[in-house]
Structure 1
Amino acid sequence: MSAVIKNPEMRKITVILLTNLFLCSCEIKNDQKTMTPGIPPHKKITLKSNPNQSVDSAKSFLYSGCIVLRRGNDVISSMFAQLNKSDASFSHCGIAFREQNQWMVYHSIGGEDNPDEKLRREPFESFVGQDHNYGFGVCAYPLKETEVESLHRLMKKWHGLGIRFDMKFDLSTNDRLYCAEMLYKAFNHVTNRDDCFETTLHQGFRYVSTDNLFTNKASKMLCRINY
């Protein structure tokens, strides 16, 4: 869900919304165990001293249709991460596909780095880059081969349509999508289901957080990398 927002008015609106959600989410967490900040190590991969080697190692876990998560190193990303109910490891997400011998990630993001707010397609290395992230992870969700193909077609379609980032974080609309909402609706669409992932509801506001995607019983974390 993360976005680096530098436009003063839009940043103000977004910060107000996030602050309200953040304060509400804190009420949920008061009765839960304290979440450890950052990204915990994963037994399946060891962090190398060279970040580029870590990224290359993580590629061995990628397959078309897998979920790629990251933890941005800006303030807005930190607020997004804290909206997670059970695990604050990640703030943003996308879907990876192998295209022309390169791993590409489709994701929805707004802000100064993507001023037109249209659904973005970028190389995996750029998506998880150390310059703007504390770390990243790769997550598997079980899909049939035909569903992966449908998911890829859907991402290409939405990318071609220029679906924009949803600054209102309104789960009831489909003309704009924030990052976790995009994954939530895409996976439900290609599986013809409505329960691939849970949603978070607090004080009448329903949203999809990044931990809704990777902590559910069907998902499997394949690797986590700390920079």
Structure 2
Amino acid sequence: MMIPHYFKKRWLLSYLFIFFISCTNQQNKVTTISFKDSIALQQKIKINLVELQSIKATIQAGDIITREGNDFTSQSLKKLNRRDETFSHIGIANIENNQLYIYHAIGGEWNPNQQIKKESFETFTNPIDNNAMGIYRFNINPIAKQYFIEKAINFYQQKIIFDLDFDLKTNDKMYCAEYVYKSFVQSKNNELTFNHSHIKQFEFIGVDDITLHPQCKNILLYVYK
């Protein structure tokens, strides 16, 4: 299986960054990643890409897709979850023209305009930046699910930006779990209610407030090899 150009580019940048750091330590000692290690890394990426393509075929429109990022920010954010710290980020799957996309609210360097993103499944779940991913599915009727998807796309079309304040009361900015939550509760004929998490006086929706909902079923949890 050929590794997509996107992953080749990201892997090369990561490799060069590590190489540069290792070559500029305080003692000016030259330390490089071995050829054997680089081949092993490429092989792990290849294995995970094959697994992800198999997983992709099981996803339905309206599914909730989660991931655990391997960066410091993701590892910190997942600890905000009050009941389940498995995942740090969450998005909504939709199938358009036979292509699977994930809609999600994200900030940071990978999203300079801060607007809700529409990304391919491959980009959202890429094995370079993530440790694990999951699929969750709500047991709601098809019409309600379609309204949910339409509301999520409507927020995307409004170019809602990422909420750095994590303020659940505002609707012009949203963070990832808030985006999924409000796509449900603000869609037509919604009958779902969600648990709200609290840290002292701070009220928010965590990723686990979505995934642990009584009508939400875990379809798959994949930990990258």
For 1:99 and 1:207, how far apart are their aligned partners in 2? 31
| 1:130 corresponds to 2:96 | no
What letter matches 1:218 in structure 2? Q
| 1:190 corresponds to 2:148 | no
Larger radius of gyration: 2
Query: Hey, what does 2:64 align to over in structure 1?
Result: 67
Matches within 5 A, 1:29-108: 50-108=47-105
Percentage of identical aligned residues: 32
SS for the counterpart of 2:90 is strand
1:218 to 215, 218, 225: 215
Higher RCO (C-alpha 8 Å, min separation 6): 1
Query: Hey, what does 1:141 align to over in structure 2?
Result: 138
Offset, 1:178 = 0.3
Closer/same/farther in 2, CA of residues 49 and 222 from structure 1, 3 Å limit: farther
SS for the counterpart of 1:94 is strand
Offset, 1:179 = 0.4
For 1:123 and 1:200, how far apart are their aligned partners in 2? 30
Offset, 1:192 = 3.8
For 2:83 and 2:155, how far apart are their aligned partners in 1? 30
Closer/same/farther in 2, CA of residues 112 and 156 from structure 1, 3 Å limit: same
Query: Hey, what does 2:164 align to over in structure 1?
Result: 167
Task: Please tell me whether the aligned partners of residues 61 and 223 of structure 1 are also in contact (alpha carbons under 8 angstroms).
Answer: no
SS for the counterpart of 1:62 is coil
1:157 to 143, 150, 154: 154
Offset, 1:109 = 0.4
TM-score normalised by the chain length of structure 1: 0.75
Offset, 1:217 = 1.7
- Out of 86-95 and 57-66, give the one that drifted further: 57-66
Offset, 1:159 = 1.3
Task: Please tell me whether the aligned partners of residues 61 and 138 of structure 1 are also in contact (alpha carbons under 8 angstroms).
Answer: no
For 1:191 and 1:86, how far apart are their aligned partners in 2? 29
Offset, 1:191 = 5.6
What letter matches 1:76 in structure 2? T
Unaligned runs of 5+ in 1: 1-47
